[in-house]
Amino acid sequence: MLNLSTTYANLNLKTPIIVGSAGITGSIELLQRAEECGAGAVVTKSLFQKEISRKSPTPRFKIVKHTNTFTFYTYEQASELNPQEYAEFIFNAKQKLSIPVIASINCYTDDAWIEYSKLMEEAGADAIELNLSCPHGVHIMSGMNIIEEMVHTTKIVKNNVKIPVIPKMTPQSANPGSDALRLEQAGADGLVMFNRFTGLDIDIEKEIPILHGGYAGHGGPWAIMYGLRWISAVSPKLKCSISASGGVMNGEDAIKYILSGASAVQIVTTVFLNGYEVIKQINKYLEQYLDRKGYRTINDFKGKVCDKILDMESVDRRHWGVASINKDKCIGCGKCFNVCIYDAIKNDKEKFMIKENCDGCGLCIEVCPVNAISMVEKERN
């Protein structure tokens, strides 16, 4: 029988797919929808100590299109609830849901961290996610030393509650690898890698920042490679488990994160844009992957890519191949000719040919719109 269950931060999840903290986890009804569609756990929309953050501006979403990808650029602020109301929300969520409910909080004083964490524990939260990394939160925006703050906070919260404590890391750090190790030493039971970056986009006609007029959180499908890079580097060194967060749009993305060593995978942008049904699709894709690969559990392939990542010394640097153009397929568009910095493509009245000096860089293959170019071994050209 296929089994998608996983253990994350000492919690047993029936699937690794967690709906991450955002407006999509801001009410009991939405949490229930996530559970009905098959989420393994939910992280509730963050409670902020900073009261001004409890009110979001209108509008607060912008989809900024780039070539072949997009940025989900948003200024959705904290939960509108105060700490008491939030504790009630967590209590009610626990009555209605059978999956783990992880409470997300963001404070800037030690007293509040302790008070809010205890409140969440008493309300029945299964774990606490520490959201110091909010891209428009007080820690990032005031330029605090975020890793020192996170280590300090992890220690004090850990000393005051018994439920698992999970710092949510910022990608805006010089070395997330060493940050992760320090947070584990500070007592983290799990890590979320990562929150989003802080960005800015500009309307060049009005010469003003877009959306609400300030900096905002930006992420999107493009963010996944950053998470894969750091999770794969650090997961073999950690005892505590990792929940990936950033850029997961579908089942394939979730599998990449598990192969890089994540025990669970959070999704937010894809739920906003594709609805809660996407959880079902991702779970189904995971099951099909296990079946196709002959795996019985998530652990069978978790972290499998880590020891296949080459270091600089091990990279094969032989120039073994050159490009070859299939004349029958070539449509004479000249894109290969335009990108070749080696002057290795001959343009003979819009018939393109590879010359002797091809360096085998492979860029012409990437830009050819009709797959007319391939890499062949040097002697076969």
Enumerate the active-site residues. Answer: 134
Q: Given the structure tokens 């990449």, which residue do they identify? A: 256
The smaller minimum CB distance to ligand FMN, of residues 27 and 381, is found at 27
The smaller minimum CB distance to ligand FMN, of residues 245 and 324, is found at 245
Beta strands in 175-280 (DSSP E): 190-193, 197-199, 202-203, 208-209, 216-219, 241-245, 264-267
**Neighbour-count burial of 261, counting CB atoms closer than 10 A to its CB (0-12 exposed, 13-18 middle, 19+ buried):** buried
The smaller minimum CB distance to ligand FMN, of residues 168 and 322, is found at 168
Give me the residues paired with residue 105 across strands: 47, 130
Three-state DSSP at 264 gives strand
Please report how close the Cβ of residue 204 comes to ligand FMN at its closest, in angstroms.
Answer: 25
For residues 218 and 226, the answer to whether their CB atoms sit within 8 Å is no
- For residue 167, cis peptide bond before it (omega within 30 degrees of 0): no
Euclidean distance between CA atoms 44 and 56, whole angstroms? 16
Please report how close the Cβ of residue 273 comes to ligand FMN at its closest, in angstroms.
Answer: 9
Please report how close the Cβ of residue 64 comes to ligand FMN at its closest, in angstroms.
Answer: 13
The smaller minimum CB distance to ligand FMN, of residues 6 and 243, is found at 243
**Helices 110-123 & 83-96, crossing angle to 10 degrees?**
30
The smaller minimum CB distance to ligand FMN, of residues 24 and 336, is found at 24
Strands 165-169 and 61-66: unpaired
Q: Kindly list the residues in this chain that would bind ligand FMN in the complex (CB under 6 A).
A: 20-23, 45-46, 72, 74, 76, 78, 104, 131, 134, 168, 195-196, 217, 219, 223, 245-248, 266-269
Please report how close the Cβ of residue 243 comes to ligand FMN at its closest, in angstroms.
Answer: 9
The smaller minimum CB distance to ligand FMN, of residues 171 and 261, is found at 171
Please choose, from the candidates 7, 77, 49, 8, the residue with its C-alpha nearest in 3D space to the C-alpha of residue 153: 49
Please report how close the Cβ of residue 113 comes to ligand FMN at its closest, in angstroms.
Answer: 15
Please report how close the Cβ of residue 43 comes to ligand FMN at its closest, in angstroms.
Answer: 7
The smaller minimum CB distance to ligand FMN, of residues 246 and 303, is found at 246
Three-state DSSP at 85 gives helix
86 is written with which tokens?
A: 């939030």
CA angle 181, 72, 367 (to 5 degrees): 90
Range 30-34 contact pairs with CB under 8 angstroms and sequence separation of 24 or more: 31/93, 31/96, 31/97, 31/101, 32/96, 32/97, 33/276, 34/271, 34/276, 34/279
Please choose, from the candidates 132, 186, 119, 127, the residue with its C-alpha nearest in 3D space to the C-alpha of residue 156: 186
Please report how close the Cβ of residue 28 comes to ligand FMN at its closest, in angstroms.
Answer: 17
Q: How far is CA 295 from the centre of its chain?
A: 24
